[in-house]
Amino acid sequence: MKIVVVGANHAGTACINTMLDNYKGNEVVVFDSNSNISFLGCGMALWIGGQIAGSDGLFYSSKEKLEAKGAKIHMETGVTNIDFDKKIVYATGKDGKKYEENYDKLVLSTGSLPIDLPIVGKELENVQYVKLFQNAQEVIDKLNVNKSIEKVAVVGAGYIGVELAEAFKRWGKEVYLVDAADGCLSTYYDKLFREKMDAQLEGHGIKLEYGQLVKEIQGNGKVEKIITNKGEFPADMVVLCAGFRPNTDLGKDKLELFRNGAYVVDRTQKTSIDDVYAIGDCATVYDNSIGGTNYIALATNAVRSGIVAAHNVCGTKLESIGVQGSNGISIFGLNMVSTGLTFEKAEKLGIEVLETTFHDLQKPEFMEHNNEEVYIRIVYRKDNRKIIGAQMASKYDISMAMHVFSLAIQEGVTIDRFKLLDILFLPHFNKPYNYITMAALGAK
């Protein structure tokens, strides 16, 4: 069987490895328009901010590693067209060489692209997008060479924008964080938690310019200032990171699309056409928190979707168990994690929900060393009391606690089951009446 994979980053790499490791005898041909494979974009801000030593550790695979297992990898070779009826993929290499590959099974792993904001002046020098390895390298090179870059404006206060704001501040730059919303991280956290992150950012000198739409970037050849619907401020570099859209141009006229343009897939990752699968950021997911199809672009989701598709492509029926959109962020030592729906998002979706919120010290008061406050909110349905979301914040590393809530959403656990949950106690770790138990006991 001949399998063609278009795109070889996280989802594609997981799919290719799973096929080659578990199923022998197939011909696997891969096309990728980039020059590298498996760049961990989630570590990009750490690299830009100088919190890790170089970028080498941000790659976990390569053309050589995949070819050593038997795949045929074409790098810097963009797919220009796909004939879904005749099952032929057409591609062109950087050197102009043309390729025509027939397939028995096709896997689309084309990822996502930065949203192209309609802003006048975005073609000016030092206006940057930051998604690929090359984008991050260009930013670092400019900061190293051009010492006149003193003011940096980050447009978009989602995860990447907030992380980049910290990164540029670590360079000693004057940083503006701009967003049309009234706070940061609105997709993942309720106001109580967003305010904590905003306070953390402001406390480290980052200027928050919320509730503003960027209208224009001005400058004589290169960036000098930003104009919004509420005013203006100076900038020597502008980073546009207002989110991403699914990269589905290749199949948009043939495959069923979700409301945001992503390929609609079933729980085997199959698209609306037999023998064509889609994985990663270009495809939908099954979201257990809403009990339906959704779009959640995360590297973790991408890897899982690649594994699921690989088995189905190679003849083993395997369905996704769904996702919750579990995620986390750490900014200047403030850690925030969440899964499922926020209270605000659930209400917007018309789901009747209740929430229970609690805060306390992580450990007993007599544990004076490394004992931080923890804030927790659990969101649950009013009708059946099933948990559909949770959020936590602390300067203590509470990230592992979120996994139990991810599992709870996946398995349909009610808030009441948490009230007497057997949770270990040791003063080194937590309190006997810990914040998870107390939050559950406080549920209406």
Find the distance separating the first CA and the last CA of the chain, reported in whole Å: 57
d(CA 63, CA 30): 10
β-pairing, 373-381 vs 105-108, is: unpaired
Q: Of all helices (H) and strands (E), which one includes residue 250?
A: none
| Contact by Cβ (8 Å): 303, 11 | yes
pLDDT for 191-219, tens place per residue?
999 999 999 999 999 999 999 999 999 99
Whole-number pLDDT of residue 361: 97
Cite the active site residues.
10, 42
User: What's the whole-number mean pLDDT along residues 266-274?
Assistant: 98
Output 279 or 42, whichever has higher pLDDT: 279
For the cut 90, the answer to whether the pLDDT of residue 247 exceeds it is yes
d(CA 255, CA 211): 37
pLDDT for 152-197, tens place per residue?
999 999 999 999 999 999 999 999 999 999 999 999 999 999 999 9
Residues 6+ apart with CB under 8 A from 348: none
Whole-number pLDDT of residue 394: 98
> Residue 268 in 3-state DSSP?
coil
d(CA 301, CA 297): 7
Which structure tokens are listed for 256? 């069923």
> Residue 132 in 3-state DSSP?
coil
> Residue 306 in 3-state DSSP?
helix
For the cut 90, the answer to whether the pLDDT of residue 294 exceeds it is yes
User: What's the whole-number mean pLDDT along residues 76-89?
Assistant: 98
| Contact by Cβ (8 Å): 227, 214 | yes
User: What's the whole-number mean pLDDT along residues 347-366?
Assistant: 97
pLDDT for 130-153, tens place per residue?
999 999 999 999 999 999 999 999
Whole-number pLDDT of residue 134: 94
User: What's the whole-number mean pLDDT along residues 319-340?
Assistant: 98
For the cut 90, the answer to whether the pLDDT of residue 379 exceeds it is yes
| Contact by Cβ (8 Å): 441, 419 | yes
Whole-number pLDDT of residue 117: 87
Q: Of all helices (H) and strands (E), which one includes residue 192?
A: helix 191-203
Burial 150-184 (b: 16+ CB within 10 A, else e): ebbbbbbbbbbbbbbbbbbbbbebbbbbbbeeebb
User: What's the whole-number mean pLDDT along residues 363-380?
Assistant: 96
β-pairing, 77-83 vs 88-93, is: antiparallel
What does residue 226 show for φ and ψ, rounded to 5 degrees? -115, 135
d(CA 88, CA 29): 12
Q: What is the pTM of this model?
A: 0.94
d(CA 419, CA 401): 15
β-pairing, 276-278 vs 207-210, is: unpaired
Q: Look over the chain and give the mean of its residue pLDDT values, rounded to a whole number.
A: 96
d(CA 88, CA 311): 22
The backbone region for 202, taken as left when phi is positive above 0, alpha when psi lies in -120 to 50, beta otherwise, is alpha
The DSSP-derived string for 135-186 is HHHHHHHHHHH-TT--EEEEE--SHHHHHHHHHHHHTT-EEEEEESSSSS-T
Residues forming beta bridges with residue 99, ordered by sequence position = 91
Tell which residue, 266, 409, 395, has the closest CA to residue 351. 409
CB atoms within 10 A of CB 442: 14
> Residue 252 in 3-state DSSP?
coil
Whole-number pLDDT of residue 258: 98
